[in-house]
């Protein structure tokens, strides 16, 4: 299915349901514990701090933070993912606040010690002002001195590892992926074709591409200070060997 002007890909529940087996594999879910370990160290979180997991998905980081005694608010626009997160939290007796809301509208002034936005959950909106709005909302929602931690695919990394075509298999589902870099390297456009139970599902989607310096500039324009970039949540340098772009900022 082609992206339509009426419903952008990121607002399509059928898209998020179709890609669920590929973005939440058991390996990715298991990695959340170490991600959280790193995030706590990087943001120097005090015990019991209040944290917002913005675009939380199935809540893999939210659950891990709650297990460690943090007060967690988890926000996502995909109800199906939130339901899965809620069921897992309930099964473990974890007290997490789940909010079904669009990141462009979620703003809770001076409420959090930290906001995390992980696994390429930023840069979805074609209109650059809307991506800035998300950053401004994060800034407003942090207490003074609060921290933001974001992790995504950096433009420099993508340029190094770029592959035009790729395929993957998870259980009985096959995914074919085709990628194109947009004009001026502003975005990457991907075409995903999924085959499951004899059915084909196709979707094109694009996300903005940011270099480290572009992201720092956007954070600065949204009110953040003291930005630092890393090549991963482990704090490795964002250099020619980096695999991910991670940015830490302060309100």
Ligand X SMILES: C[S@@+](CC[C@H](N)C(=O)[O-])C[C@H]1O[C@@H](n2cnc3c(N)ncnc32)[C@H](O)[C@@H]1O
Footprint of ligand X (CB under 6 A): 10, 16, 23, 55-57, 60-61, 76-78, 81, 102-104, 118-121, 124
- Please measure the distance between the N-terminal and C-terminal CA atoms of the chain and give it in whole angstroms: 41
Nearer to ligand X, 102 or 178 (CB): 102
Query: Minimum distance between the CB of residue 198 and ligand X, rounded to whole angstroms?
Result: 27
Angle at which helix 60-67 crosses helix 26-43, to 10 degrees, equals 50
Between CA 161 and CA 39 the distance in angstroms is: 25
CB 140 within 8 A of CB 109: yes
Phi, psi at 198, each rounded to 5°:
75, 0
Nearer to ligand X, 60 or 208 (CB): 60
Query: Minimum distance between the CB of residue 1 and ligand X, rounded to whole angstroms?
Result: 17
Query: Minimum distance between the CB of residue 122 and ligand X, rounded to whole angstroms?
Result: 9
Residue 27: Cβ-neighbour burial (10 angstroms; 0-12, 13-18, 19+): exposed
Query: Minimum distance between the CB of residue 24 and ligand X, rounded to whole angstroms?
Result: 7
Q: Enumerate the H helices of 24-75 as residue ranges.
A: 26-43, 60-67
Nearer to ligand X, 104 or 143 (CB): 104
Nearer to ligand X, 50 or 61 (CB): 61
Nearer to ligand X, 7 or 213 (CB): 7
Q: Which residue has the tokens 């650059």?
A: 128
* Type and span of the H or E element at 135: helix 128-141
Query: Minimum distance between the CB of residue 224 and ligand X, rounded to whole angstroms?
Result: 19
DSSP 152: E
């Amino acid at each position: 299915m082609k992206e339509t002007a009426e419903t952008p890909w990121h607002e399509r529940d059928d898209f998020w349901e179709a890609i669920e087996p590929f973005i939440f594999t058991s390996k990715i879910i298991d990695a959340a514990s170490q991600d959280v370990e790193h995030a706590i160290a990087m943001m120097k979180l005090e015990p019991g701090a209040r944290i917002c997991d913005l675009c939380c998905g199935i809540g893999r980081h939210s659950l891990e933070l709650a297990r460690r005694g943090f007060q967690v608010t988890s926000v996502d626009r995909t109800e199906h993912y939130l339901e899965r997160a809620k069921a897992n939290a309930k099964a473990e007796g974890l007290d997490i606040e789940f909010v079904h809301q669009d990141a462009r509208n979620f703003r809770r002034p001076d409420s959090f010690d930290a906001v995390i936005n992980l696994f390429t959950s930023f840069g979805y909106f074609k209109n650059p002002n809307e991506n800035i709005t998300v950053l401004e909302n994060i800034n407003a929602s942090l207490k003074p001195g609060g921290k933001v931690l974001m992790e995504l695919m950096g433009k420099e990394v993508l340029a190094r590892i770029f592959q035009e075509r790729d395929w993957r298999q998870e259980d009985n589902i096959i995914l074919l992926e085709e990628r194109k870099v947009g004009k001026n390297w502003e975005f990457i456009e991907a075409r995903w074709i999924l085959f499951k139970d004899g059915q084909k599902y196709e979707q094109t989607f694009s996300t903005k591409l940011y270099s480290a310096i572009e992201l720092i500039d956007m954070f600065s324009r949204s009110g953040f200070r003291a930005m630092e970039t890393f090549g991963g949540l482990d704090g490795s340098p964002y250099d020619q060997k980096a695999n991910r772009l991670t940015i830490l900022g302060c309100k």
